[in-house]
Amino acid sequence: MTLPISAPLAPMLAKAQPEVPRDARWVYEPKWDGFRAVIFRDGDAVHISSRNALPLERYFPELVAPLRDALPARAVVDGEVVIAGPRGLDFDALQTRIHPAESRVRMLAEKTPARVVLFDMLATGDDDLRDTPLAERRNALLRGVTTNATVGITPQTADSGEAISWFERYEGAGLDGVVAKDARSTYQPGVRGWVKVKHLRTVDCVVGGYREAKGGGGIGSLLLGLYKPDGVLQHVGHTSSFNAAERREIFQRLQPLVGGGSFGYGRTPGGPSRWARSADAAWTPVQPSLVCEVSFDHLQGDRFRHAARFLRWRVDKEPRDCTFDQLTPPDEFSLDEIVVSGT
């Protein structure tokens, strides 16, 4: 490729804040829950580079032709590869697409086709746009991209009230939250120059076990569960947000409960992982009698994608009251209701 920007290119990033910033310099976009991708097109050649420089066109071959149709003949754009399922964005389905067998890649491309949502134009023709303001790059994106059924453009607003509405309403489509960007800012690869505000919800969970801290000194993490309608306690994640004194105190608190049956029939901790096969999976079951409230940012299927944050013990709540009913999903939206299309 003979573009003004060469692959790989580290994408510009965002730092987390608890609230949506509200002064006049900001514009806002939904935060997409997918694989970040910087896309290079030079004539017939299309390269989709992941955040860690993985060639995503290898795993998402169905994206190549629609991107070739949508993008200018020579361009570099920033966006997100997503899969839209019947209940919004499906990150589980996205992960299964990273597979070494070409035959399976082709089968999954037909069964769970991906889409691309674009949000920045970094180069067009011989022009490197990274040093131009975001507002100008946005205009170049809207002028240069011809959207189709597979390639769309993220919405953007300068109205913080509308952004907060997106934050609240679009969670049902699987969106992560809101990203705020300075409309005057240049594109700075690898720099956390944007702001992200992610969904944060709380839930009461049963402590069904623990892992010890490496090298001793108390617990490393508490293993959390919720009861299914059939009465089975299913592992949903863990929390490890404790200081050294708390790790020792909680370890002692759990010792009288060691050996109790907890996750014996549902999903259990320490199952095989495609991403960390060599990780230490040893854990200690405890009698499921303690309840704690935790916060989490995203529910992936029926488990927490990331570690939950411990908030407090709930001595006032019965373990059997800790059910999946607490996780009632918000209103659902389809991807087509959100992306900018038809340009």
Catalytic residues: 31
The answer to whether 308 touches 238, Cβ cutoff 8 Å, is yes
Query: Which tokens hold the place of 48?
Result: 């989709």
Can you tell me the distance from the alpha carbon of 41 to that of 142, in angstroms, rounded to the nearest whole number? Answer: 17
DSSP state of 72: -
Phi/psi zone of residue 263: left (φ > 0), alpha (ψ -120 to 50 degrees), beta? alpha
263: number of Cβ within 10 Å? 23
Strand bridging mode 115-124 / 127-128: antiparallel
Label residue 298 exposed, middle or buried (CB < 10 Å: 0-12, 13-18, 19+).
middle
**Element holding 193 (H helix, E strand):** strand 192-198
Best CA proximity match to 171, nearest among 333, 288, 324: 333
Tell me the sheet residues that pair with 211: 221
Can you tell me the distance from the alpha carbon of 304 to that of 90, in angstroms, rounded to the nearest whole number? Answer: 14
The answer to whether 38 touches 190, Cβ cutoff 8 Å, is no
DSSP state of 144: H
